Amino acid sequence: VNADLLLGVDIGGTKVATMIARPSGQILNHLSTPTDLSSDAATVEGILLTIQAVMDAAQVSPHGLAAIGIGAPGRVHLESGDWFGSTNVLLTSPPVPLVALVEERFGRPTFMENDVKAGTLGEHRFGAGKGLQHIVYLSLGTGIAAGIIVDGKLYRGVGQAGEIGHAPVERNGPLCNCGTHGCLEMMASGASIARRGCAALRAGQDTLIARLAEGNPEAVTGKLVIEAAAQGDCVALDIMEETASYLAMGVLMIFAAYDPQLLVLAGGLAQAGNILLNPLWKALAEQATGRAWAWEDRVALTALGDKAGALGAVALALQNILPEEPA
Ligand SMILES: [Zn+2]
């Protein structure tokens, strides 16, 4: 039995992804199960069962694990190991003492971090940011948030550093649940793409989006609009262009504030690849000129694909059991 294996858990709104990996990032086993949102107790039990399932699949007992890492959406309390949930995984009576419950069940040291911050650690240790000292990881999903590595370490500020999704970029934009109009995440997230696609259908525009959604505006998702754009649909391509023009504002803010060696784009929207990148390069070229370097050299897609979340949780576990690394 190898006691230096690590187990990572990534809790999402639709699935709980888990893996067992070596400190090198080599994955032994991974699996995911649907997130049980029927009650707080069911959500926690689902997470515990998923952890057990990946250990069974890898034929590893808890004694074979050096540590367990958890990336959880929303706010987490690092000292107590309490989890407060998020709009995606809404807890009815937060907080839930998730770290204590996992340690009680499996008897291994367990560490929890906000999922975007965990993803940042994973990208820095195993992915596109490997070996770099200054990176920003921008998670583009239903919402938008960043994780920041400065001088090789996660930067937290007072605790909310990286919540760039709530920086206002459009005064006349829709009202966000944070109370501000036109936040970056209202204008450039996967949800904003879905909103624009839905509006195009309601306006009766002739678009492939309508056929893919079978005429139902409620059925329009960001993924569906991206699919239409990939097939060359003009309305969908315009939506991607508008989205990218706001995303470019977020990218420019990040570079102005942190000057990272690399900005890594991750999350569901990053899976659009060139459908997102091409209009982004165009918007950046229009909004910012006269740079000595090329955007293509400083902005990249995640290298970890759909494993980024769970590998981030592995990196979190590893970081907490390794001796402090020299700066
Ligand atoms: Zn907001």
Dump the DSSP string for 113-169. Answer: EEHHHHHHHHHHHHSTTTT-S-EEEEEESSSEEEEEEETTEE--TTTTTT-GGGSB-
Instruction: State how far the Cα of 136 lies from the Cα of 254, in Å rounded to an integer.
Output: 8
- CA–CA separation, 238 vs 229, rounded Å? 9
Measured CA distances, 307 to 44, 46, 241 (Å): 21, 19, 28
pLDDT tops 60 at residue 174: yes
- The enclosing H or E element of 309 equals helix 308-321
In tens, the pLDDT along 104-154 reads: 999 999 999 999 999 999 999 999 999 999 999 999 988 899 999 999 999
Show the tokens assigned to 4. Answer: 């230096």
At 325 the pLDDT is 61
Kindly give the distance from the C-alpha atom of residue 231 to the centroid of ligand 1, in angstroms, as a whole number. 32
CA 255 vs CA 40, 45, 147, 250: distances in Å: 39, 41, 13, 9
pLDDT in tens, 230-286: 999 999 999 999 999 999 999 999 999 999 999 999 999 999 999 999 999 999 999
* Burial 20-51, CB ≥16 within 10 A → b, else e: bbebebebbbbbbeebbbeebeebbebbbebb
Return the half-sphere exposure (C-beta side, CA atoms, 13 A cut-off) of residue 101: 18
What residue has token string 């504030």?
Answer: 257
Minimal CA–CA distance to 112: which of 146, 83, 86, 148?
83
- C-alpha 106 to ligand 1 mean position (Å): 38
CB atoms closer than 10 angstroms to residue 137: 33
Provide the mean pLDDT of the chain. Answer: 94
- Which helix (DSSP H) or strand (DSSP E) does residue 2 occupy? none
Pairing of strands 82-83, 110-114: unpaired
> Residue 115 C-alpha to ligand 1 middle, in angstroms?
18
Q: What is the mean pLDDT of residues 60-83?
A: 96
Residue 1: pLDDT over 50: no
Please state the rounded mean pLDDT for residues 151-167: 92
* CA 174 to centroid of ligand 1, rounded, Å: 10
pLDDT attached to residue 147:
97
- Is residue 6 a contact partner of residue 135, using CB atoms and an 8 Å limit? no
Where are any strands of DSSP class E within the chain?
5-11, 15-21, 27-34, 65-72, 76-77, 82-83, 110-114, 135-140, 144-150, 153-154, 262-266, 299-301
Centre of ligand 1 from the C-alpha of residue 17, in Å: 27
pLDDT above 90 covers a percentage of the chain that reads 90
- pLDDT at residue 304 tops 90: yes
Give 178 Cα–ligand 1 centroid separation in angstroms. 4
Mean per-residue pLDDT, 73-81: 94
* pLDDT value at residue 315: 97
Q: Cα–Cα distance between 108 and 101 in angstroms, integer?
A: 11
Residue 95: cis peptide before it, omega within 30 degrees of 0 = yes
161-185 average pLDDT score: 95
Rounded distance from Cα 184 to ligand 1 centre (Å): 7
pLDDT of residue 3: 64
Give distance in angstroms: CA of 139 to centre of ligand 1: 15
CA of 155 to the centre of ligand 1 (A): 21
